[in-house]
């Protein structure tokens, strides 16, 4: 049985779902969670439900906004005061920036962006996609502890029947040290929807969308099913969508439960970013489009006809 700390990020007042995925997978070990900032009562209850025995709220000067230097020093100060075998975190934008820095500080090994793993006693064995997902590598970590692991959001899934439990809460002041680079302002996007990397349902449009205004029909469908809208590189390069919406090797890598590709041919670059989706639905006028070789369900037809029809039918189903 390993002593494990899971670092969580807050989305508003809630913990990000990837934290719950990690906790669910690690049930049976000594699990603790740490966050920078105060966690609400509901969040603590949720963490306890998924197996957290202790929840630590870390406080320090200059931690109200993300700083790789400040956050790393804060976690370093706390981790050094404890005895953990592994440190887990989500492979979010922040996690990808912070955890390698922490691993470097501790001169420790790290497995990055694993999509599955097992933990036999204190022995970790993970699965990590390589070469744009064309092959899967089995990774283990050696060297001094604690070992560090980041997990791709939506890759593990949530435990269907988590057990109720109680978590001990603690609050600790941590030493941040001097922060040489300070983030003055974080400008949020206009959309209130989840980021692509965390979304459970994604609806993406390709060059066949023809212009940015036509993305309206994808947004309407997304509003119906609670999805986030993405785009292919071709659509972004054509000016139809912002780069923050790009899915693919030079965009964002996603692992939603459902991925709907509208007017996307299925270039290798795009497949590299979404091939780990649980269910893929393709809508395209070309029956020989490469996307159909990866799709679980395919519709050959005009997306401008099919998407509105799909939207209306889903509204009827969801109203029942």
Domain boundaries, the chain: 3-173, 201-319
What would the two tokens of residue 141 be?
């970590």
- Average pLDDT on 70-84 reads 92
pLDDT at 132: 73
pLDDT at 32: 95
**Max intra-chain CA distance, the chain:** 60
Q: d(Cα 136, Cα 91) in Å, to the nearest integer?
A: 17
- Average pLDDT on 56-75 reads 88
Architecture of domain 3-173 in this structure = 3-Layer(aba) Sandwich (3.40)
Using a 10 angstrom Cβ sphere, with 0-12 exposed, 13-18 middle and 19 or more buried, the burial of residue 16 is buried
Given the structure tokens 């230097």, which residue do they identify?
69
Q: d(Cα 156, Cα 115) in Å, to the nearest integer?
A: 7
| Percent of the chain residues topping a pLDDT of 90 | 68
The answer to whether the beta carbons of residues 2 and 24 sit under 8 Å apart is: no
pLDDT at 189: 62
Nearest by Cα to 229 from 263, 187, 181: 263
What would the two tokens of residue 64 be?
């109200």
State the alpha helices, DSSP H only, in 52-92.
68-80
Radius of gyration in angstroms for the set of CA atoms belonging to the chain, rounded to a whole number? 21
What would the two tokens of residue 268 be?
């290798």
Nearest by Cα to 32 from 142, 139, 172: 172
What would the two tokens of residue 227 be?
């999805």
Q: d(Cα 261, Cα 284) in Å, to the nearest integer?
A: 8
pLDDT tens sequence across 168-199: 888 888 888 788 877 777 776 656 678 898 89
pLDDT above 80 (res 243): yes
Q: Which of 56-60, 230-234, 285-289 has the lowest mean pLDDT?
A: 56-60
pLDDT at 164: 67
Which one of 3.40.50.1220, 2.170.120.12, 3.40.91.10, 3.40.50.1000 gives the CATH number of domain 201-319? 3.40.50.1220
User: Residues 6 or more apart from 33 whose CB is under 8 A from it?
Assistant: 5, 6, 7, 8, 15, 19, 23, 47, 52, 54, 55, 56, 167
pLDDT at 191: 60
**318: helix, coil or strand?**
helix
pLDDT above 60 (res 47): yes
Q: d(Cα 9, Cα 18) in Å, to the nearest integer?
A: 9
Nearest by Cα to 18 from 181, 153, 165: 153
The DSSP bridge pattern shows strands 201-205 and 168-173 to be unpaired
Burial 175-196 (b: 16+ CB within 10 A, else e): ebbebeeeeeeeeeeeeeebbb
pTM listed for this prediction = 0.84
Q: Which of 147-151, 185-189, 222-226, 278-282 has the lowest mean pLDDT?
A: 185-189
Strand ordering across the sheet containing 135-139: 116-120, 123-130, 135-139
Model confidence at 251, in pLDDT bands (50, 70, 90)?
very high
């Amino acid at each position: 049985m390993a002593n494990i700390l899971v670092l969580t990020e807050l989305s508003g007042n809630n913990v990000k779902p990837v934290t719950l995925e990690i906790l669910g997978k690690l049930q049976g070990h000594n699990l603790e969670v740490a966050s920078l900032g105060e966690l609400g009562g509901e969040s603590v209850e949720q963490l306890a439900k998924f197996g957290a025995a202790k929840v630590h709220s870390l406080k320090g000067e200059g931690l109200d906004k993300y700083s790789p230097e400040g956050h790393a020093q804060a976690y370093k100060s706390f981790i050094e005061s404890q005895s953990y075998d592994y440190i887990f975190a989500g492979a979010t934008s922040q996690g990808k920036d912070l955890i390698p820095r922490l691993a470097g500080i501790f001169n420790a090994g790290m497995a990055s962006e694993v999509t599955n793993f097992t933990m036999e006693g204190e022995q970790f064995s993970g699965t990590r996609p390589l070469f744009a997902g064309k092959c899967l590598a089995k990774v283990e970590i050696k060297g001094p502890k604690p070992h560090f692991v980041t997990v791709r959001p939506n890759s593990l899934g949530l435990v269907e029947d988590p057990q109720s439990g109680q978590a001990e809460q603690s609050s600790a002041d941590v030493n941040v040290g001097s922060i040489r680079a300070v983030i003055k302002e974080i400008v949020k996007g206009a959309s209130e929807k989840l980021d692509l990397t965390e979304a459970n349902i994604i609806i993406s449009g390709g060059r066949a969308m023809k212009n940015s205004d036509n993305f309206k029909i994808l947004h309407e469908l997304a509003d119906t099913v609670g999805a986030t809208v993405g785009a292919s590189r071709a659509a972004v390069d054509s000016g139809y969508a912002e780069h923050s919406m790009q899915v693919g090797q030079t965009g964002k890598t996603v692992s939603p439960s459902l991925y709907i590709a509208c007017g996307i041919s299925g270039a290798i670059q795009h497949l590299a970013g979404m091939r780990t989706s649980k269910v893929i639905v393709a809508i395209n006028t070309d029956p020989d489009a490469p996307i159909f070789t990866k799709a679980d369900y395919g519709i050959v037809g005009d997306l401008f006809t099919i998407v509105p029809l799909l939207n209306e039918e889903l509204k009827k189903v969801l109203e029942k």
